Chains A and B, each alone.
Chain A
Amino acid sequence: MALNDKLKETKCVETAWGKLIPEKECYDFGVRHIAAFCANIFQVMRILEPDFEKRTSAICDAAYMFNMAASSDQYLNGYYNEWNIPEFCEKSAWLGAIWGDSGDEYENMAGRVIQFTRDRVEKELDTCPWDIVGAELCNMTTAMFTANFDLTSKDTQNEVCLNMCEARGCGDRHCRVVAERRDVTGLPKQGWMDHMNQPVFDVHNTPNERTVKEGQILRNGKYTNAFGEEKSFEWAYRWVMEYGWVWCVSFPLVAIRDMADEDEFERILKIVFATAGKNEFMDPFSVKGLREYLGVPNEIGKKDARIMGSYIKFLLDTQLVPCEFTAFLQDEVRIHVKADDFNGRYEMAPLDELTLGYETLWHNAVKTMVDPEFSVWFENKDTDDMEIVIGHKIDKRMI
C-alpha cells in the first residue's frame, strides 16, 4: 500500500498543552518580544530624562561607543572572510552597509538595498519589529550605523553623511537609511541629532504592491548577502536571540542607568513594567485568544496558575532559553531556569534587568490574565537553581 511511513517533519515549539507552534512563528513572536521589552525600557528612560534630545544623544553615544569597542581588526578580518567580500570591493566605509543589511534581515526587518555604489548607499525597509519603540531608537540605530561605517573606514571618521530620512518608528511607511559620501556631496560632519534629515540625491520609493511582509529568512529560509554567502534561518534565529538583546536593551541601558541612582532606576523600572504587565491581558478577549493560541483545554478554569505558567514557558522557549517545569499544578507552577541562561542571552553581556523586568511584568500580567490572588516571583535569583514561581502570595504593600 502506497502510504507514507511517517509525516513530514517540521520544527515546532510544543506548548504545555500539546499544541505545536511552528518554528518560524516562534521566531517572529520572540523577536517582537525583544522589541516590546525594549519599548518598556525606553519608557523608563523617558521618565528619567524628559528632554528628547538629551536622552537620544545619550543612548546614541553609548551605542556608538559599544559598537566601536566590540570590534577589532581581527573581528573585521573574520567578517570579511565570513562574508566572502572580494578584493575588488574596496574595504572602505561602504562595507558597513553590507554589515547592516545582514543584521536587518536576521531581525526580520524586511526590505532591500536600493543602491550600493562607492558614493551612496540606500537601504529601504518595509517592516521593522522594533517600530513600536519610538523615535529615540530610530536615532540610536543611526549611531550604530555610523559606528559600522567608521569601523570599516580606512582612516577617517564620519566619511559619510548618514540619514534615516524615513522611520517606521516615526510613523513613516518605510524605514530608509541613506549614506552619502561627504567628499562628494560636501555635506558637513553630523552630530547625533542630525541624522534624520533628507538625503541630497533622490530616493527610490517601492510601491506597496512590491513590498514584502517578511524578511528573507522567513520568506526563503535563508539570508543571502550580495556576494552569495548564506546564513540559514536557524542561524539567524539564534543570532537574534543573542544579539537582539544587546543592541536594543544592553546598549541603551548603559546610558539610562546613568540617568538616576540605582534605587531610583529600579523604582521607575518596576512601575513601568508593572503597568505594562497589568495592561497586557486587560481585555477579556486577550485571555480567550491566549488560551486558544496555547491550546489550553476548556476544562481548565480561569483561576489556574497553569495558564500563566504555560505562557511563560512558551515565551522562554521561543527565546531559546533552556528551562523546564518542576511543578505544573492548578495552584502552583514552577519553571526551573538557570540565572545565567535567563540573563545571559549574550554570554558576554548578561542583563540583570531581565530578571527585574520580567518578574515585575509577569507578576502584574498574572493579575489580569489569571486572577489577582496569584503572583509571580523568582526564587534563588542569581543561581543555577533559579525558579520562576506562579502561586499565591499575600503582600500588604503589593503594587
Chain B
Amino acid sequence: MLFKEDKVARAEAMAVRNNVGWYRWQHDLVSITGPDAGKYLDYICVNDIAGAGVGVSKYTTILNDEGKVVDDTIVTNLETEYWVSTLYAPRFAKWFEKKSVGYDVQMKELTYEIDMYAVQGPNSLSYMNAILKNPIDELKRFRMEDNEIDGIKVKIHRSGFTGENGYEIYCPIEETKKIEEVLRNNEKAFDAKELRTLEVYVRSLPIEKGFALRQDMYGLSPYECGLGWSVKLDKEFNGKEALLAYKEKGHEYKLVGIELDPERESYEDIAQNEIVYHKGVPCGVVRQMIYGYTVDKNIGFAIVEKRFSENGTELTAGTNNAKITVCDKVFIK
C-alpha cells in the first residue's frame, strides 16, 4: 500500500515527475525469428506489427479466441528478429506453441540474457546523454537503437511506463552491475533518484497517467479498456471475429478510473478484486487502488457495468462501503 504520508515514496514519485528517476525494470523478453516472424506477430497482435519498420516498437494487446485480452506487450522490430516484452514469458511461450502452427517461426526466451533499466522523467534525456557514448536527442518515441555505456553495447528504447519522457536501457545480463554503477554514479550531478519502492513505479506513477497492467484488463475486450485505438480492423488477427461480434452486441463492462472519497484517508479494506456496488448491488470489481502523489489522492481502476461507467457516478467498494467516484482513467494529462 502507499500512504499520503510516505515521504520516501513521494520523493521517488516526484523525482520522475519533476526531474529524473531510474530503476531496474526487467521484463520477461522473448525473441521471435524466422521468415514468418512479422506475419505471425501481426496475426496474434491487434496492432499493425507488419507495418512497423526496423527499430520501431508498437504497443499491442494479444487476444484469446473470444476476443478478450490475455496479454499486453511492446513488440519491437529489430530487422533480424522481433522482441516481445511481456510480464510473463512462460505463459507467452504456451501461447506461441498453440498459435504458431503453420508459421515458419522460432521463439527464444531472452529474459536471462538481457537486463533492462528504466530512466524516466523530464530530464531523462540529459541524464541519458551524459552516460551514453552517442547522444540520443533525435531518438523518437517507440524507437530503439544501438548505443554504448562505458564500452558496453546497449540498446536504447525511448519508452516507459510512467507517462513521462523516458528511456529503457537493454544490456547483456553479465554487464548489469556495471550499468547500475554508472546510473548510480551519475545520480548526484542530476539530483536523480533510484526508485526502490515497487508500488511507485509499477502502480502509482502509471495509474496517474492511465496506464493499466495486463491484470487490470484481463478478460476484457480492448474496447472496454479504452484501447480501441490500437485495434487495426483492416487486418486479420486472432480473436477478431469474436471481438467484432462482441462490439456489435455492445460492451457489458468498462475499465474506468476511480477516486476514493477525499474524506477517507486510505484504502486498507479495498483489495484487488474488491467488489464494487451501486446502491448495495454488485456492479463490478476494483482492479487496483493506490495513492497518487502528483494528484494527491487515492485513485485506482475498476471494471464496472457499462451503465455505471459515466464519469461522476457514485459507487461504493468493499464491505465498509467506501465511497468511490467514477472518473477518467487518465488522472493527469
Contacts and interface: CB of A to CB of B under 8 A. Distances in A.
Interface of A: 81, 84, 86-90, 112-119, 124, 204, 206, 209-214, 216, 219-220, 222, 224, 227-230
B196 A119 contact: yes
Contacts of A114: 1, 268
B60 interface: no
A89 B197 CA distance: 11
A222 B1 CA distance: 19
Contact of B1 (A81, A89, A112, A118): A112
7 contacts: A84-B91, A113-B1, A211-B268, A216-B273, A219-B274, A220-B273, A222-B273
A71 B120 CA distance: 39
B271 A228 contact: no
Interface string B258-271: 00000010111101
A213 B318 CA distance: 11
B223 interface: no
Contacts of B271: 112, 216, 219-220, 224
A219 B318 contact: yes
Interface of B: 1, 3, 8, 23-28, 87-88, 90-91, 111, 116, 196-199, 202, 213-216, 218, 264, 266-269, 271-275, 285, 318-320, 322
A224 B319 contact: no
Given A118-B196, A206-B268, 14 more contacts: A81-B90, A86-B27, A87-B28, A88-B23, A88-B116, A88-B198, A114-B268, A210-B268, A210-B269, A212-B269, A212-B318, A214-B319, A219-B275, A224-B273
B27 A117 contact: no
A88 B272 CA distance: 21
Contacts of A119: 196
Nearest to B197: A117
Given A87-B111, A210-B268, A220 B215 contact: no
Given A224-B272, A230-B273, A88 B196 contact: no
A5 B202 CA distance: 47
A87 B196 contact: no
Residue from the set A86, A113, A206 with the largest chain B CB neighbour count within 10 Å: A86
A209 B273 contact: no
A115 B1 contact: yes
B26 A112 contact: no
A273 B258 CA distance: 52
Given A212-B269, A219-B274, A224-B271, A86 B215 contact: no
B268 A112 contact: yes
Contacts of B116: 88
A103 B266 CA distance: 24
Residue from the set B218, B269, B285, B320 with the largest chain A CB neighbour count within 10 Å: B269
Contacts of A84: 87-88, 91
A228 B272 contact: yes
B26 A88 contact: yes
Nearest to B111: A87
